[in-house]
Homo-oligomer: A and B are copies of this chain.
Amino acid sequence: MTYRLYYWPEIPGRGEFVRLALEEAGAEYVDVARTPAKKGGGVPAILRVLEGELGGLLPFAPPVLIDPEGELVIAQTACILDHLASRHRALAGGGDHPRRVAALQLQLTIADLVTETHDTHHPIAVERHYEEQKAEAARRTASFVRQRAPKFLGYFEDVLARGGGEHLVGDRFSYVELSLAHVLDGLAYAFPRAFVSWRASIPGLLALRDRAWARPRIAEYLASPRRIAFSEMGIFRHYPELDRVA
C-alpha cells in the first residue's frame, strides 16, 4: 500500500506537515509532483488532481493525499493528518478518540498560525506579488511580530507546560510535535531577529523541537534529499525589511 502525495515540488509549504507525518510513520509514499512530468509527475499531475481527474471529492488546493485503501482523495492538511492518525495510531498517541480530537484541535491552531505567517508577506492579495503589497506587508508584519506570533507561541508553551513539558497531546508523542517543530524552524528562517526576542519565552517548545528532530526516522529524513529547503517562494519567507525585534 503506497500513498500518493500531490504538492508543489519546490517548496516545503503545507505539504511538509504531511511529509513529516508520513516519514515518522515509516509509510511508503510517492511525492508525485517531484517525479518527472514525462512519467506522469511534475506540476501537471497536481493540475490534473485539482481538475478532479482522480475522482472522489474534488480538492480545493494541495496538499492532496491519495490513500489507496478505500480510494480516499483527501485535501486540507489537518484533515490529511487526522486521517493518517486513524491509520497509523502512534501518530496521535495511540489514536483513541480524545487524543485524535486533541491533536486535530492543536493542528488547526497551527494552521491558523501558518495562514497568519503567510499573510505577513501577502496581506492584500494572494494572486499578486509581494512587491505589490510591501507597504501593507510591513504594517501587517509589525502586528504579527509584536502581537500574533507571541500569542500563538505562548499558547503552545502553556499547553506543553500544563501537560508536564514533554508532550502536547497527553503523555505521548503525536504528529503535532513535528508540525510545531517545522513552524518554529520556519519562523526562525523568516524572522531571525524577531525569533531572538521570542526565544526566551518558549524554552519548552525549543526543547520539544530538538526532541522531534532527533527522532530516528525524522533525523534520517531531514538529512535526505527528500527534505526541501525554505525559500522566498513558500509560506516562510525571509525578507530582511520585514524582520524586526518584537
Interface residues of A (CB under 8 A from B): 52, 57-60, 70, 72, 74-76, 78-79, 82-83, 86, 97-98, 101-102, 104-106, 108-109, 112, 115, 119, 123-128, 133, 136, 139-140, 142-143, 147-148, 152, 155, 158-159, 162
Contact = CB atoms under 8 A, between A and B. Distances in A.
Given A108-B78, A139-B136, A162 B58 contact: yes
Given A155-B60, A159-B58, A162-B52, A108 B124 contact: no
A76 B108 contact: yes
A76 B104 contact: yes
B101 A74 contact: yes
B57 A83 contact: no
Question: How many protomers of this protein does the assembly include?
Answer: 2
Contacts of A102: 57
Contacts of A60: 109, 112, 152, 155
Given A72-B101, A101-B74, A158-B58, A136 B108 contact: no
A105 B136 contact: no
27 contacts: A57-B105, A57-B106, A57-B159, A58-B155, A60-B109, A70-B97, A72-B101, A74-B105, A76-B104, A76-B105, A78-B78, A79-B101, A79-B108, A82-B101, A83-B101, A108-B108, A112-B115, A123-B124, A123-B140, A124-B136, A124-B143, A125-B139, A125-B140, A126-B143, A126-B148, A136-B136, A136-B139
